[in-house]
Each structure stands twice: as C-alpha cells, then as structure tokens.
Chains A and B, each alone.
Chain A
Amino acid sequence: MTTIQDPPAAAAVPAVATAVAAGTATPNRQGGDPGPVGRRTWWGAAFAAPHSIGLVVFTAFPIIASLVVSFMNWPTLGARSFAGIENYARLFADPVFRTVTLNTALFVVLYVPLNLVVSLGLAAWLTPRIAGRHVFRVLFFIPTITPIVANVVVWRMLYQPGGAIDATLQSTVGVHAPNFLADEHWAMLAIVAMSVWQGFGYNMLIFSAALDAVPENQIEASQLDGANAWQTFWAIKFPLISPSVFFATMMTLITSFQVFVQPFVLTKGGPGTATETLVQYIYNTGFQNQQLGLASAGAWVLFVIILGITAVQFLGQKRWVHYE
C-alpha cells in the first residue's frame, strides 16, 4: 500500500542499503534496531564463510596467481623467467594494444547506450495494458540464450554480400549494400547491432519488472495533471526505477569491456584490426602466441580499467540515482 506522500520507513532500508553497497553511506545507518541478531556475533562470518572460502579458493587465488605470472616471462611450452615490468612496458609500447583498447572503448560507447535505450524503451512500451505482454517478454529474452554458433550463421546471412540486407536493398532501391563484415567502417557497427540484439533481453526483463513496481496511483495522478506518456515516464517512472538503471548500467559496462566472442566469430578481429578487442588480444597472446606472462599483464590492465570505470560510476550515482 503506497501513498503519494513519502514511503514508509521500511522501504527506506533498501535505499540505504544500496548506498552502503555503493560505499557512500556510513555503516551506522542501518534501518531499525539491530537487536540481539544485530549484535556483533560470529554468526555473520559463519554464514558468509562457505561463499567466501569458495571465492578465495576459486577466484582470489587464481587472480593473484595471474598477477604473479604477469610479471614473468612465461611461454606455454618452455622455460620461464622473471621479467619485472617488462610485459607491461611492452604492452604500452605496442601500437596494436593501443588500437584494441580504443576499439574496445568504441564498442562500449556504442553498445551500452544502445542496449539501455532499446531495453528501457521496450520495457516502457510493454505496460500492463498491453495484452500478452508475458509472451512478448519471453520472446525478447530468447536471443540472450541462443547459442553463439547459431547467431553467427544468421547474422552472417544478414550481412554478407548477397545476404538478406544486400538482396533487399538491391530489389527495393537498386544499390548494393556494403560488405559489412569486411568493411573497416561498418564492421564495428555491424557487431554492435548483433550484440545489442543478443544482449538487451536481460536488461529489458529487469526494467520491465522495475516499472511494474512503480505505484499505479502516482502514474494516474500525473496523467490527471495533464502529463502525457513521455512526461510521465521521465518525471515519475524513471526516477523511481533509477536504482535498477544504475545496476543494469554497471553490469552492462562491466560485461561490455570484456567483449570477445561476437567480434571473434564474426570477423576474427578484422578487417585489419578494426574489430579486434582487448580480450581477443589477450586470447591471441596467450593461446596463439603462447605468451602467458604478456597475456596476464593485458588481463590485469583490463581489470584495472573496469575497476576504474565502476568506481567512477559509484561516485557519480548520487547525482542521478534516486533512492527513496
């Protein structure tokens, strides 16, 4: 039960908690009286232990190991030696490394906004008034679970000379479409388009559920006041779903920096290095050129970049994320 006035205290907890998660709130501001369970006990550590141990063994340990490897000259087959910061120096001096970092940044800049716009737009369109919205939601989600092998076949068919786009353009307008995947100006855009198609389902589901939770009477009230759908969305709905927009943006950014499979299977990084991404560079260095030390160094550079971007996001959220 909600009213137009400020929501009751219980709902203040998620806002505060999310703030704690963001690291911007002080630990003392916990909603409600802690009580005996809220006393500092060792139960907390005990409950968190299985997960923590698992993470330490299976994530922390390998990532520290890969940090160590990044300071070494470590060919897959052959002798290993200590190399200090030589690997990192090589990376920053390599023009291809710079290119792939820029390519990855380009992908992120194109993909993330497009993904968010499409998923938010479709989620907003699928209001409860639409008949059969459950069916639509499942349909839009299916691309996220299609095997990449099958996606590649379909999208190649779309993009290649003589493919669906080319043939349609020929028959309607009479011009040839560019060879998208082999043209250095179009290749990245083509890959972004396919990635958005494949990836927007997750965010759409999240936004759709979040929009469902917006109190109906607030929407009605704004409509009575004369606001149209567009104004209602931006004035009422968006601020209320901004925590989920923040979460989705953060996760989408993190995963988009790690993009590898789509460009690798569609263009193998070509033409030239137009679509080669950072993770492909790491993969080539490790599995093809068999230089594990250099590959680990590249992976750590990527990790630091992602950390930095996420930190910036957390710091910036106060300005636009609207916690109740």
Chain B
Amino acid sequence: MQRRRIIAGLAAAAAAALVLSGCSSGSSAGGSQSKDALTWSMWIAGKEDKAAWQKVADTVKSEDGITLTIQGAPFENYFTKLSTQLSAGSAQCVVSMQSLRAANYTESLLPLDDLAKKDGTDLSAFDSTALDGMKVDGKLYGLPYDTGPIMMFYNRDLFKQAGVAEPQPGWTVDDFEAAGAALKAKGITEYGSTVADLNLESMIYGYNGGRVITAGGKLDASNAKFADGLDWMASLVKKGYATQASSDSSTPGNDFAAGKVAMYTDGPWSLISQKAKVKFDLGVTTLPAGTSGPSTFAAGSGFGVSKQCKYPEQAFKAVQTMTSEKVLTSLAEQGRAFPGRTAAQAAWYSSAGIEGAEPALKAALAKSSPLLGNKQSDQLSQLFTQYALQAVNGQTSGKETMSSIAGQLGTQ
C-alpha cells in the first residue's frame, strides 16, 4: 500500500510536469501573435514536407524579420480544421488556400488588391491562370504559389508492350478510344476512372466543354453537356477501356502505380512523387480533346491573409516573400510545386526530369481555365463521390444523376 502510494505520487508528479511543459508550449502557439511573430496554417505531410516549408519560413525571417510559426494539418482534414478555427475566431494570420475553395472563404479572407497596389506588387509576373484562380468576383484573395492543369499520366512501358503509339499533346478523344481498344486487345485496361471533382470535371470539359460551374462562378448542375460527358465516361467503362469508379479518390493513382491501368488523370503536384514511386517509365500528356478543342481545368494554391489577423500588412509582406521568385524557384528545384510565377517555371521543368513534360504542360497551360470555386463546391465534390459513381458505373444515366445532384444542391 505504501509503495503503491509512492509510485502513484511519482506518476502524478511526472504527469504534472509533462502537462506543464505542454501548457507552456501550448500558450506560445495559436493566438499570441505580434508584429514580428505570425502564425501560418499549411497542409503538411511528413517531416520532409515540414522541412521544406520551414525553409520558406526561414527565408521570410531573414528577408522581412518576421518569424512565421507553421501550424500544419494533414491535407485531407485541413479545411475541416480551418473552418472550425475561423468560426471560433482563432485562425492563423497567413492562411494557405486552394483556388477551388477560395469562394467559400471570402468572408474570412482579406482582399489583397489594395495592399498589393500600395506595395506596388507586380501581379503580372504571376502565371495568369494561377492568379485568376485566387480571384473571386474579381477580388484577389491570395498570392498563388503553385498551379497546375489536370493532365493525363501514362505508363510508357505498357504502351510499348501493347505496340500502341504514345499519346501526343493535343490528341483527340478518337485517338484516346482507339488506344483503348488496342490496349484492351492486349489485355490492358487503358484508363483509371475517377469521380474526384477536379479530375472528373476536367475530363468532361475536355470531352465536350460541359461544365457544372460556369465561367462566372455560378453553379449549373443541370448542364446537359456535362450529363452527356458522364454518359461518355460510362461508355468507357462499359467497353472495358476503363475501370469501374471507386469512392476512394486515390484509387486511380494506386492502380496506375501498380500497373493495373495504363493512364489516369492527375495534376503536376503528384508528378514527382509518382515518378519516385513507380517502377516503370512515366509519361505525361494532355487530356483527350473533344468537340470544343483541347481544354482542361487548372487548380492551384496560394497564401492569403485572414481577416482576423491583427497585422495584415506584415502578413502580406510575408506572403509576398513566400511567393517571390527566389522562393518559388527554390521550391521548383526541389520538385515540390509547379510554380505560379512564370519565371520560376523553367526550374521545375529541368528538375522534373520527365521526357516530354515541358511541351505537354505548356500545351495544357495554354488551353486551361481555372476551375472556379463556389460556395457549394465542397458539397458538390461530396455529391460527385456519391452520385457520379453510379453514373460512371452505368447504374444511372448522366441526366438522372445530375438531377439528383441538382436537387440536393437546391435544398441546402
């Protein structure tokens, strides 16, 4: 009894000590910001990732004298967390934002146009698609750091094995389907189907120009062309050129890496990591072009300043440094992000080391439109996973699917 009391006491003391140390580290993060010490929220995956972003933060320290504390969250859950923090008034000063979602956060992000004008920022040095992605209703909500059109990644070895010519940038839907038939004859599935919003919308946009979010950012869920696009994707599955769609958005990428499918859609942000993972020769090309010519959607990310920030000018200064040519070039050299600054893009091409990447990306960028976000984009993405799955797998028609989706978007 005596000994147990002592052990219990010691344990309690140790617990208290750790709690206190946790206490002190807790009070320094989140909340206590000053002119020279700001917080920055970012999605982080792993130590390497963190180290790379820490280097960016260090650059800000040396150039602007501002200490940036990174508060990372896993990418999957970043926006859930951000919403919670914003609603509770405890958001960070510098906020990483995706172009797809900027429209959801216009109430919480500071429009940067005035600050940019005051500071004389040269906005034209940024890639126009990237910059437009950060704009909502004409107002700029963040400076872009990366951008990327959706492309088609393909397995060079499988194509060679089947004796099919490699796809060239600007290839058409007919070329795509012909290749599908040839690959199928050799027992290879051509395409990994997807219902992830960005990829699905890009494929259909390329097929016939159908889009559920108009160029003005409005939701058009009953767009007939889009429904036709869904039917086309279903036909691919039916003919055996494509796999059945799965609700897990990482499935096409996994299937591709495992050699199960010969191609799938993804953005340049995944290119380097896929290249490192796969054991075959990786190639990249544009999406198959249909009736409205080559076209694809581009998405990107950037850094904004939250309205809750007490030091917006300092935050903007930090953001400018974070998207400066020096930093973006360095990130590009590490193969991390396809830069949103035109001048830095050359560095990315040389470090990527993928044959044919440069002409493919350039061709795609030339014909890409930014996928605009909308207040209901998150809901749309969820609904695609639930309903578009049925369409692509041939259980419902494109029209039925879109009317179900439209119905749900309307009620909420």
User: A residues engaging B (CB < 8 A)?
Assistant: 76-78, 94, 96, 156, 160-162, 179, 181-184, 266-273, 276, 284-285, 287-292
Q: Is the CB of B386 within 8 A of A271?
A: yes
Contacts of B251 in A (CB 8 A): 160
Cβ 8 A contact of B247, one of A94, A96, A182, A291: A182
> Could you tell me the distance in whole angstroms from the C-beta of A264 to the nearest C-beta in chain B?
10
Binding site secondary structure of chain B: helix
Residue among B104, B251, B385, B386 with max Cβ neighbours from chain A (10 Å): B386
> Could you tell me the distance in whole angstroms from the C-beta of B368 to the nearest C-beta in chain A?
27
Q: Which stretch in B79-87, B121-129, B356-364 binds the other chain?
A: B79-87
**Contacts A162-B260, A270-B385, A292-B87 hold; do A77 and B105 have CB atoms under 8 A apart?**
yes
Q: Is the CB of B108 within 8 A of A77?
A: yes
**Contacts A96-B408, A184-B395 hold; do A76 and B83 have CB atoms under 8 A apart?**
yes
Q: Is the CB of B390 within 8 A of A184?
A: yes
5 contacting pairs across A/B (C-beta < 8 A): A77-B83, A268-B382, A270-B389, A289-B379, A290-B104
Interface status of B321 (Cβ within 8 A of chain A):
no
B396 closest partner in A (C-beta):
A272
B387 closest partner in A (C-beta):
A272
Q: Is the CB of A182 within 8 A of B86?
A: no
Q: Is the CB of A182 within 8 A of B389?
A: yes
Q: Is the CB of A272 within 8 A of B87?
A: no
**Contacts A161-B243, A266-B247 hold; do A76 and B86 have CB atoms under 8 A apart?**
yes
User: B residues engaging A (CB < 8 A)?
Assistant: 80, 83-84, 86-87, 104-105, 107-108, 243-248, 251, 260, 376, 378-379, 382, 385-387, 389-390, 393, 395-396, 404, 408, 411-412
A288 closest partner in B (C-beta):
B378
> Could you tell me the distance in whole angstroms from the C-beta of A147 to the nearest C-beta in chain B?
14
Please report the C-alpha to C-alpha distance between residue A179 and residue B385 in the assembled complex, in whole angstroms.
15
Q: Is the CB of A288 within 8 A of B386?
A: no
> Could you tell me the distance in whole angstroms from the C-beta of A218 to the nearest C-beta in chain B?
38
Q: Is the CB of A271 within 8 A of B411?
A: no
Beyond the given pairs A156-B248, A267-B247, A288-B382, 11 more chain A to chain B contacts, judged by CB atoms under 8 angstroms and listed by A's residue number, are: A76-B84, A76-B86, A160-B251, A269-B385, A270-B247, A270-B387, A271-B390, A287-B84, A289-B376, A289-B412, A291-B412
**Contacts A271-B390, A288-B378, A288-B382 hold; do A78 and B412 have CB atoms under 8 A apart?**
no
Contacts of A78 in B (CB 8 A): 107
Contacts of B385 in A (CB 8 A): 268-270
Please report the C-alpha to C-alpha distance between residue A66 and residue B412 in the assembled complex, in whole angstroms.
20
Q: Is the CB of B107 within 8 A of A269?
A: no
Contacts of A184 in B (CB 8 A): 390, 395
Contacts of B260 in A (CB 8 A): 162
Q: Is the CB of B382 within 8 A of A181?
A: no
Q: Is the CB of B378 within 8 A of A182?
A: no
